[in-house]
Chain A
Amino acid sequence: MTAAQAPAPEPLASIATRIRAHVVDMCAGPEGGHLGGAFSCVEVLTALYFSVLKVDPQRPDDPARDRFLLSKGHAAQALYATLAERGFFPVEELAGYGRPGSRLMGHPVRAVPGVELPTGSLGHGLALACGFALATRYAGGDSRSFVLLGDGELQEGSVWEAAIAAASLGLDRLVAVVDRNGLQLTGSTERIAPMEPLAERWRGFGWAVRDVDGHDASALADHLAAAPWEPGRPSVLIARTVKGHGLPFLAGRTASHYVTLSERNHARAIRALRATDAAS
């Protein structure tokens, strides 16, 4: 049996700040990184890995585990930092991010402990998680499958093929989170391909829907722990987030999508995170 995660001894918010600091360090490397979309989902990952998911870092392949997929695989740095903080591999390994020979690639691969399947080709995660949920149904047991989708990713038609199937198959052990930061590579999601009213869209597809402040880790954890919210329906939590949240000079800006931090901006970022931590 997988042990349920014991309550974190420290507040989720301060874990989230440490995860952001790791991402900032990685984005100061020569290749930079998808800082904005990594930062917008830090609280979602923190809530999942430090409160909700039934996973054991010592036994990442435990058949009874909850499964999680970062369908927006470009936020890999946030996932790596979260997995390292949670004990799946040493935090020191993060320093090798993106370097030749490192398993910490720009998008996640299975060689990384805790990563179920490679992601980053957008639009696959929800269907893969449907597969996990179906397999769980056949095998019995009470584990759940979680998937984190980007809001730009929702423009992929395959997401909606999976949304139809999940509802029609009644996969209520499936929980999706949408990182609703409102920005994609080239600008505002609402300008490029409007998707509001987003909650109604999901409801129309047969899902149970909730909306939450995506930077309130405790609220996220409460909602995720309670799923399924409606028996027989898959659940989707729309996490209202800000791209680059936590860095005043990047937050809410399209330019935060991919960032290589100069030495000066790296120092600015670390100072900003310290100030956030002190204030919380």
Chain B
Amino acid sequence: MTTYPIAPDALTKPHLEPIRFGFGRGLLAAGELDERVVALCADLTESTRMHLFRDRFPERFVGVGVAEQNLVTVAAGMAHAGMIPFTSSYAAFSPGRNWEQIKTTAALNDQPVVVVGSHAGVNVGYDGATHQMLEDIAIMRVLPNMRVIVPGDSLEAERATRALAADPAPSYLRLARDKTPIFSTPDSPFEIGRAYLLADGRDVSLIATGTMTYHALVAADALSRKGISAEVVHVPTIKPLDSATILSSLRRTGRAVTIEEAQVAGGLGGAICELTAAEHPVPVLRLGMRDRYGESGGSTELLEKFRLTGTQIAEDVDRLIQG
């Protein structure tokens, strides 16, 4: 049933690249296509990969200094005057620090400001808890008019960035720092508001977003060897949520496991619980950060600590199914 093209060696020998690199390429491409696209950054231009745009279009780049409140409010003013601004910083600071500005000056006014939050999740190496943004999906998802996009790999981040520039509206784009596996291909689809079926199954739906989609694929593969047939639903748009695709998967499998590198409260896990409770009640296991902050460590070490690797996810799903 699934037709989503997956990279041939995705599970055995995946190509690795930071998701934020795709954003950098996508923004550059969007800038070539539309001269209304402008970029604003709070002194993290290379970290967020905005330097590609800055170097090509210096006149359309604004460095505001370490000032995230100003970052998004200036962007809202520019959007009101006809530009399509992309703002970037670490997610811990934007939208972490400037949520009220995002709400009042961009979302409330339906201004096409794209808030790009990089280094989200626990995936920030040794920076530790102050720099690990885990609540961003929850706080952005609750804003009326706001779209929330969490690409699964760098290729998808590139597609998502171009799609956001071509369809201006208030948006949040969540990026990760470290290298992560590329599971999609240059021909894989991306549409704002669509979820994608990556693997068919009967017993359980693994509903994943961002960096966790790859781990869901690994888990499904491991589960198949135990005779458990897991469907993988990739949700790169958390808002608006593709309810039809998700519900149709749950009608087939009757069980949901949500997987995200974020707080499950209010995150994808929260969104799926809201959907299922209202439309099609099924048991939901929410994997991700459960009401705690992160800590310092290598990305793989931290994912293991929080039981977010493919193998561990398969173990938890197996336990769920065996009851």
List A residues at the B interface (Cβ < 8 Å).
63, 67, 110, 116-118, 121, 123-124, 127-136, 138-139, 157-158, 161-162, 164-165, 168-169
Contacts and interface: CB of A to CB of B under 8 A. Distances in A.
Given A124-B101, A131-B75, A131-B79, A165 B109 contact: no
A131 B100 contact: no
B33 interface: no
A161 B78 contact: no
Contact of B74 (A110, A117, A165): A165
A134 B59 CA distance: 10
Interface of A is mostly: helix
B69 A158 contact: yes
Given A134-B74, A158-B73, A165-B67, A117 B81 contact: no
Nearest to A127: B73
A162 B74 CA distance: 8
Contact of A161 (B69, B77, B100, B108): B69
A131 B69 contact: no
Contacts of A168: 65
Contacts of B38: 134, 138
Contacts of A139: 81-82
Contacts of A116: 80
A146 to B, nearest CB: 13
B109 A124 contact: no
A131 B81 contact: yes
B96 to A, nearest CB: 15
B62 A169 contact: yes
A129 B108 contact: no
Given A117-B76, A128-B76, A158 B109 contact: no
Interface residues of B, number: 27
B289 interface: no
Nearest to B67: A161
7 contacts: A124-B101, A127-B73, A131-B73, A139-B82, A158-B70, A162-B73, A165-B70
Nearest to A129: B77
B154 interface: no
A188 B108 CA distance: 32
Of A128, A130, A158, A164, which is in contact with the most chain B CB atoms at under 10 Å from its CB? Answer: A128
A121 B64 CA distance: 21
B81 A135 contact: yes
A60 to B, nearest CB: 13
A168 B67 CA distance: 13
Given A127-B69, A127-B101, A164-B65, 10 more contacts: A110-B109, A117-B76, A118-B104, A121-B100, A124-B101, A124-B105, A127-B74, A127-B105, A134-B38, A136-B81
Contacts of A133: 77
Contact of A131 (B59, B65, B76, B108): B76
Given A118-B104, A138-B59, A165-B64, A127 B82 contact: no
Interface string B83-95: 1010000000000
A71 B285 CA distance: 47
Nearest to A135: B81
Contacts of A63: 82
Interface in B106-150: 108-109
A265 B289 CA distance: 59
Contacts of B67: 161, 164-165
A118 B81 CA distance: 15
Contacts of B70: 127, 130, 158, 161-162, 164-165
B60 interface: yes
Nearest to B104: A121
Interface in B138-184: none
A65 to B, nearest CB: 10
Contacts of B80: 116-117, 128, 131-132, 135
